[in-house]
Amino acid sequence: MVGNVIQLNQQNFAEEVLSSKEPVLVDFYADWCGPCKMISPIIDQIAREYKGKATVAKINVDENRDLALQFGVMSIPTLIFFKDGREVQRILGARPKGQLTSVLDSLIA
């Protein structure tokens, strides 16, 4: 976990995302990806602000190819929102914080 952001992998994905009681925002990223680096501080900020209300996690697609394939992640960053263990929304590319928080707010409400 970096700050309040959980690093996901094949071993902890089911427990942290599929079994979560809170909505989960998962950021599929790679270290070499420019847009991923751009939104990383936003993801960290959301993780702090939504602590106790939503889970924020990241998956390095280079280290977790199976998960990226499982969810059909073709470009990064891909942000997938889960609720009750199911994907409910997907956003491709770097987006402003407000767009991400409005999705989380709707899932928490």
- State the Cα–Cα distance between residues 94 and 91, nearest whole angstrom: 8
Q: What does pTM read for this prediction?
A: 0.95
Measured between alpha carbons, how far is residue 67 from residues 24, 28, 62, 64 in Å? Answer: 15, 9, 10, 6
Q: Catalytic: which of 36, 42, 54, 68?
A: 36
- State the Cα–Cα distance between residues 37 and 29, nearest whole angstrom: 9
Share of the chain above pLDDT 70, in %: 97
The 10s digit of each residue's pLDDT in 49-60 is 999 999 999 999
Domain 6-108 adopts which CATH fold?
Answer: Glutaredoxin (3.40.30)
Q: Catalytic: which of 17, 33, 56, 67?
A: 33
Domain ranges of the chain: 6-108
Active site residue 36: yes
Peptide linkage before 35 cis (omega within 30 of 0): no
pLDDT band at 4 (very low <50, low <70, confident <90, very high): confident
The 10s digit of each residue's pLDDT in 73-87 is 999 999 999 999 999
- State the Cα–Cα distance between residues 19 and 39, nearest whole angstrom: 26
The pLDDT assigned to 20 comes to 94
